[in-house]
């Protein structure tokens, strides 16, 4: 799609706007099945439009700034969706932030990472990337997840898997600090650790970058598309909750479904880059999204909890902690050599499948 970045396709302009306009009358309503089907189609179209505009921006600003823009944009909208659902959902949403953030970590560090490696390795036998940058990213993900999702289960100052106000404030400040430090390393101090190898990139990657006007237009349309994606996901959330209840899955599966929808743009963008041989960009998207999801969501929810009623449950259960631990170990074994095969991709995808199965049937 980068080959045509100088001419923004009309559908990538029309669909986000139509999706956003559709969101206005359907927000807060319970539309019939036919309308929900149309909403689902527009949601899917908005996802693909968001991917296109993210690629336009990435082509203009270069890596790793392009991946950073998409990750931050999606995470900000994700926070808005979580807060909206927690405000309207009452006590049933006490664990929504935890479930959504944990699901985002599993989706990015196993699903997106596994698919990217698999696609790239099938294309070139071996997927190559920068070990230094990815080791730093994985260490940040592991630290953030432990501080915000594991420790609340073991602290004793508050009853249940919760933080006290002081502990939550520390976790929020630490998360922001780690995220800011990672962005500094990724974009300034050690930017070369996160740059893809352009030597054998496809011809369209070397096409003339879009103008500033075209990039700004795509940035605006990216925001519109992401707002539409998350807003329409909110419209679909009652149907998602009904589907979760119909199959007998626990309420935590709602957070998984939300994370799957919200992370669709990153997933598609990562797979497309892996298919082009730009594995480093795919890895930037995977780990960058995980870091942004934890490092930005938890502080925002911590601030929002001042106005939210009820407890904020952040601590993971034993099954979730096991999945998180093995993901960290396998992730380290995957990224440290700086190259991976279909085996590593398959291992991550099996872990992702295990997460999905246990989310539905714990």
Element (H, E) at 274: helix 264-275
For the chain, the straight-line distance linking the first and the last C-alpha, in angstroms and rounded, comes to 40
Cα separation, 252 vs 14, whole angstroms:
35
Cα separation, 328 vs 179, whole angstroms:
18
């979760």: which residue's tokens?
Answer: 244
Cα separation, 153 vs 303, whole angstroms:
20
Residue 357: how many CB atoms within 10 A of its CB? Answer: 10
Contact 218, 210 (CB under 8 A): yes
**Which pLDDT tens digits describe the chain residue by residue (362 residues)?**
443 444 556 888 899 999 999 988 887 777 887 888 888 888 888 877 877 887 788 778 776 777 777 777 777 777 777 777 776 665 567 788 899 899 999 999 999 999 999 999 998 889 999 999 999 999 999 999 999 999 999 998 887 798 999 999 999 999 999 999 999 999 888 888 888 876 545 555 545 677 888 888 888 988 888 888 778 877 877 777 777 777 777 877 888 887 887 788 788 889 998 998 889 999 998 999 899 989 988 998 888 887 777 778 899 999 999 999 999 999 999 999 999 999 999 999 999 999 999 998 88
Instruction: Give ∠ CA 54-175-91 in degrees, rounded to 5.
Output: 90
Bridge partners, residue 182, by sequence: none
Which CATH number do you get for residue 35? Answer: 1.20.1420.30
Beta strands in 192-344 (DSSP E): 339-340
Cα separation, 207 vs 259, whole angstroms:
34
DSSP readout, 242-255? HHHHHTT--THHHH
């999606």: which residue's tokens?
Answer: 74
Q: State the DSSP code for 194.
A: G
Residue positions counted in the chain:
362
Name the residue among 223, 193, 201 with its Cα closest to residue 74. 223
Contacts of 267 (CB under 8 A, 6+ apart): 107, 111, 112, 115
């599993």: which residue's tokens?
Answer: 106
Cα separation, 305 vs 183, whole angstroms:
26
Token pair in block for residue 74: 């999606």
SS3 294: helix
DSSP readout, 80-108? HHHHHHHHHHGGGGTTHHHHHHHHHHHII
Cis, peptide link before residue 64, omega less than 30° from 0: yes
Contact 187, 180 (CB under 8 A): no
DSSP readout, 133-152? HHHHHHHHHHHHHIIIIIHH
- The residue segments making up the domain with residue 200 are 2-360
The domain tally of the chain equals 1
Q: What is the pTM of this model?
A: 0.83
Element (H, E) at 127: strand 127-128
Cα separation, 362 vs 323, whole angstroms:
12
Element (H, E) at 128: strand 127-128
């Amino acid at each position: 799609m980068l080959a045509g970045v100088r001419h923004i396709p009309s559908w990538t302009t029309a669909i986000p706007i139509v999706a956003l306009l559709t969101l206005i009358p359907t927000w807060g309503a319970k539309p019939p099945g036919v309308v929900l089907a149309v909403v689902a189609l527009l949601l899917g179209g908005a996802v693909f439009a968001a991917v296109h505009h993210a690629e336009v921006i990435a082509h203009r600003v270069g890596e790793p700034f392009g991946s950073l823009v998409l990750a931050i944009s999606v995470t900000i909208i994700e926070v808005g969706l979580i807060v909206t659902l927690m405000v309207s959902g009452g006590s049933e949403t006490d664990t929504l932030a935890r479930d959504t953030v944990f699901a985002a970590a599993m989706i990015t560090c196993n699903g997106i990472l596994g698919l990217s490696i698999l696609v790239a390795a099938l294309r070139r036998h071996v997927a190559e990337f920068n070990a230094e940058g990815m080791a730093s990213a994985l260490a940040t993900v592991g630290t953030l997840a432990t501080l915000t999702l594991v420790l609340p289960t073991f602290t004793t100052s508050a009853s249940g898997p919760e933080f006290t106000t002081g502990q939550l404030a520390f976790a929020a400040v630490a998360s922001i600090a780690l995220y800011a430090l990672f962005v500094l390393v990724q974009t300034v101090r050690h930017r070369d650790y996160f740059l893809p190898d352009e030597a054998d990139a496809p011809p369209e990657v070397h096409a003339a970058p879009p103008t500033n006007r075209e990039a700004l237009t795509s940035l605006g349309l990216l925001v519109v598309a992401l707002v539409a994606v998350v807003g329409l996901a909110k419209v679909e959330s009652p149907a998602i909750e009904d589907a979760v209840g119909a199959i007998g899955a626990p309420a935590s599966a709602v957070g998984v479904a939300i994370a799957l929808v919200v992370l669709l743009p990153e997933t598609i963008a990562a797979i497309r880059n892996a298919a082009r041989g730009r594995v480093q960009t795919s890895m930037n998207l995977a780990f960058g999204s995980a870091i942004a999801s934890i490092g930005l969501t938890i502080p925002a929810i911590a601030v929002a909890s001042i106005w939210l009623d009820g407890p904020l449950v952040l601590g993971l259960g034993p099954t979730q902690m096991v999945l998180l631990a093995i993901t960290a170990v396998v992730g380290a074994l995957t990224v440290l050599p700086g190259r991976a095969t279909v085996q590593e991709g398959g291992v991550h995808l099996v872990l992702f499948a295990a997460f999905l199965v246990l989310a539905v049937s714990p």
